[in-house]
Amino acid sequence: MIPSVLPTYNRAPLQFVKGEGAWLIEADGRRFLDLGAGIAVNALGHAHPALVQALTDQAQALWHVSNLYEIPQQQALADKLVEHTFADTVFFTNSGTESCELAVKMARKYFFDKGQPEKVEIITFDGSFHGRSSAGIAAAGSEKMTKGFGPLLGGFVHLTFGDLDGVTNAISENTAAIMIEPVQGEGGIRPVPDAELKALRQICDEHGLLLILDEVQCGVGRTGKLFAHEWAGITPDIMMVAKGIGGGFPLGAVLATEEAASGMVAGTHGSTYGGNPLGCAVGCAVIDHVANPDFLAEVNRKSGLLRQKLEGLIADHPQVFEEVRGSGMMLGIKCKTTNIDVVNAGNDNQVITVPAADNVIRLLPPLTLTEDDIAEATNRLDAAAKQVENQLEIA
């Protein structure tokens, strides 16, 4: 009999009932160190007092009002994002995949309104992840996500990750945009080198294309800058955001330049919930913290410490671990043994990590991770690695 919850996930037999900072408390009372943060969502950790305050204050005043009316919390969050980024304008969604939908629509509408309706194609890269909606799976294009779901949304050209020559060769009179994650998340924490992001920006400028960055996972302070592309010193035309921006409240956004957004006039797009007062009140509190340069400096300092500890673990466990990669608090450990076994051994030792492609385990901890948490993370990952080594010896 089918379970009452549609069984699209393989779930670990853990039930968390409470969260405090970087810690999750299981129904049986055990405390787990959370290095997954709900897949880069709980940017300020669990039950951050400022977020609890923002949410409860707003909950007592007004939960929802439609986008047919002005929403001051939405205006405030848009103003903050415009102030701190390349963007001139923002549309709020409820998830990353909805941000992908709008990014695709915005790029196509831009060229349509410019009298170039043939420009519909978007170049994307293997290993990418842009969500599970029809545009998201077509954009990523992997067999794992698309098989059985055809006919797929057309107009995506899939290239090998890192293949810059391929990009130039793939551009035609039909090309509208390039879409890329500055650091691939699901793909196994694969950062795009700064020089390559710069080159993509230049290619877009030369060919009159739009650069769409998917910062759903790597954005909102995750890499130690408010947005990951800042490390490369470039700006996109359109950017997809979600995950961390709501700190746990379902919230996403599409940020764009005035030029790129010029086709999206009244009536061209909408969302019932997107940008509602509750989500935006929380989003404002998140951005107030994360956009603070002192906060980001601490993220960089502590992520440096964490990385140093992880390099030590790699050296101590050469049978289990191969290398550390990534940026800031978005780190991946490539495993030599099966990554799921390492994640499970982590669960046994009460430290939460997240598997990714390319046999990687991801560490996406709350950005508020403390030095004590880092020491604890090191001990628990060490214990998990020892457990995997013992299993190897027995086998």
Please give the C-alpha separations between residue 87 and each of 235, 242, 255, in angstroms, as whole numbers. Answer: 9, 15, 6
Position 263, amino acid: G
Interacting residues with ligand PLP between 242 and 271 (CB under 6 A)? 242-243
Known binder of ligand: residue 275? no
Interface residue with ligand PLP among 182, 185, 221, 326 (CB under 6 A) is 185
Interacting residues with ligand PLP between 1 and 40 (CB under 6 A)? none
Please give the C-alpha separations between residue 130 and each of 54, 134, 136, 221, in angstroms, as whole numbers. Answer: 29, 10, 5, 19
Neighbours of 102 (CB within 10 A): 26
Q: Which stretch binds ligand PLP (CB under 6 A): 25-33, 125-133, 203-211, 350-358?
A: 125-133
DSSP 358: T
Decide: is 217 part of the binding site for ligand PLP (CB under 6 A): yes
Angle at 286 between CA 280 and CA 287, to 5 degrees: 90
Token pair for 331: 């780190």
Count of alpha carbons within 13 angstroms of residue 385, beta-carbon side: 23
Count how many residues are written for the chain.
395
Known binder of ligand: residue 8? no
Known binder of ligand: residue 143? no
Taking the complex as a whole, the smallest distance from the CB of residue 187 to ligand PLP amounts, in Å, to 9
Nearer to ligand PLP, 186 or 196 (CB): 186
Outline where DSSP puts E strands in 23-62.
23-26, 31-34
Nearer to ligand PLP, 131 or 366 (CB): 131
Identify which of 298, 377, 270 has the alpha carbon closest to the alpha carbon of residue 36: 377
Taking the complex as a whole, the smallest distance from the CB of residue 330 to ligand PLP amounts, in Å, to 10
State how far the Cα of 53 lies from the Cα of 223, in Å rounded to an integer.
26
Q: What residue number has its CB nearest to ligand PLP?
A: 96
Nearer to ligand PLP, 124 or 217 (CB): 217
117 contact partners, CB below 8 Å, separation of at least 6: 111
Neighbours of 322 (CB within 10 A): 15
Position 81, amino acid: L
Decide: is 101 part of the binding site for ligand PLP (CB under 6 A): no
Interface residue with ligand PLP among 42, 85, 95, 339 (CB under 6 A) is 95
Please give the C-alpha separations between residue 161 and each of 108, 330, 351, in angstroms, as whole numbers. Answer: 23, 19, 31
Known binder of ligand: residue 217? yes
Taking the complex as a whole, the smallest distance from the CB of residue 248 to ligand PLP amounts, in Å, to 12
State how far the Cα of 233 lies from the Cα of 367, in Å rounded to an integer.
22
Please give the C-alpha separations between residue 350 and each of 14, 33, 376, in angstroms, as whole numbers. Answer: 10, 6, 10
* Total site size for ligand PLP, rule CB under 6 A: 14
Nearer to ligand PLP, 224 or 374 (CB): 224
Known binder of ligand: residue 75? no
Taking the complex as a whole, the smallest distance from the CB of residue 274 to ligand PLP amounts, in Å, to 12
Known binder of ligand: residue 294? no
Q: Which stretch binds ligand PLP (CB under 6 A): 60-68, 89-97, 319-327, 343-351?
A: 89-97
Interface residue with ligand PLP among 54, 216, 254, 286 (CB under 6 A) is 216
Nearer to ligand PLP, 329 or 345 (CB): 329
Known binder of ligand: residue 215? yes
The site map against ligand PLP for 306-345 (x = CB under 6 A) is ----------------------------------------
State how far the Cα of 155 lies from the Cα of 174, in Å rounded to an integer.
9
Known binder of ligand: residue 216? yes
Identify which of 324, 262, 257 has the alpha carbon closest to the alpha carbon of residue 86: 257
Position 275, amino acid: G
Interface residue with ligand PLP among 23, 129, 231, 249 (CB under 6 A) is 129
Known binder of ligand: residue 132? yes
Known binder of ligand: residue 65? no
Helices (H), 95-156: 96-113, 134-140, 143-146
Decide: is 124 part of the binding site for ligand PLP (CB under 6 A): no
Nearer to ligand PLP, 25 or 153 (CB): 153
Annotated binding residues for N(2)-acetyl-L-ornithine, written as ranges, equal 132, 271
Annotated binding residues for pyridoxal 5'-phosphate, written as ranges, equal 96-97, 129, 214-217, 272
Annotated binding residues, written as ranges, equal 96-97, 129, 132, 214-217, 271-272
Which residues contribute to the site for ligand PLP (CB under 6 A)?
A: 95-97, 129-131, 181, 185-186, 214, 216-217, 242-243
